[in-house]
Amino acid sequence: MRSHDYGRDILSTPKRKKVPEIAAEPGLVVEDPASGFCGAVVKFEYGQVVLEDRHGRHRLFPLHPAGFLVDGKPVTLVKPMPQPQKPKITASGSVKVEGLRAQTAKASRIWVEGKHDAELVERVWGHDLRVEGIVVEPLHGVDELPQRIAEFGTAPHRRLGVLVDHLVANSKEQRVVDQIRDDNVLVTGHPYVDIWQAVKPAAVKIKAWPQIPRGVDWKTGVCAQLGWGETWEGWQRVLNSVSSYRDIESDLLGAVERLIDFVTVAQD
């Protein structure tokens, strides 16, 4: 009860000032007023907080209300709320499927022109392909493509995606691809002479891929000019430089993504 003549009721209970609660995030510097120990939050053990002072000494303190000082003012330390885990991202930029179990391969396939192409696709898109149950197989040359398609026997549930190197206008590769007339086959490609060139030069720590004269094997010429040794040594250098899709040129990224989308449609 309050009196206008005599001011505040002397029998009323004064309001207590609320002590703020602060999450004890690692690194937060607090002081225990009872002991004078000042240190940074390190971790929690048995419901208590561990502090480390500037000499590296650790001490354990209970989490009492208003039990610590921050900047000279009393606070109540509370354990931080656990942060939601961010989804892990694969090398292709997709969300990683945790606990992935091997599944039976589906009937559809992706064909690429050689071993190096297959290894690079695996490096970037391997997780995605295992999720979908799609197998990548080497074609060993685009010349045999029409015959291989006929032998494979396509169907709506048995599709083929084909990745072709050096797929540019008026090239041998383009002339072969133009022969394909099958709704269950999708051919995509990139403009590079070899799949190595689809890796960004910065990823392999060079300014640009060397210009190799006609008549010289491209991989051999590249390794000779860059001092990379044998071609197998050069390929290991290139492959090991790729950690994610960011190391790959957009021409190849788009080509492979379209193939994966195509062969994962209408699966049984």
Q: Which domains does the chain have, with CATH numbers?
A: 21-78 (2.30.30), 109-195+246-264 (3.40.50)
Mean pLDDT calculated for residue range 61-72: 89
Cβ-contact 249, 196 below 8 angstroms: no
Q: What is the pLDDT of residues 97-111, one digit of tens each?
A: 766 665 677 899 999
Q: What is the pLDDT of residues 195-254, one digit of tens each?
A: 999 999 999 999 999 999 989 999 999 999 999 999 999 999 999 999 999 999 999 999
Provide the pLDDT for residue 13: 55
Mean pLDDT calculated for residue range 130-152: 89
* DSSP letter for each residue of 81-113: PPPPPPPPB-TTSSBP-TT----PPPS-EEEES
Dist CA 220 CA 226 (whole Å)? 10
Dist CA 266 CA 156 (whole Å)? 6
Provide the pLDDT for residue 8: 57
| Of the candidates 132, 120, 126, the residue with the CA atom closest to the CA atom of residue 203 | 120
pLDDT at 181 over 80: yes
Share of the chain above pLDDT 90, in %: 52
Provide the pLDDT for residue 191: 94
Q: What is the pTM of this model?
A: 0.66
Compute the CA torsion angle 59, 62, 65, 71 (nearest 10 deg).
Answer: 10
Strand partners, 75: 68
Provide the pLDDT for residue 15: 60
Provide the pLDDT for residue 4: 53
Provide the pLDDT for residue 7: 55
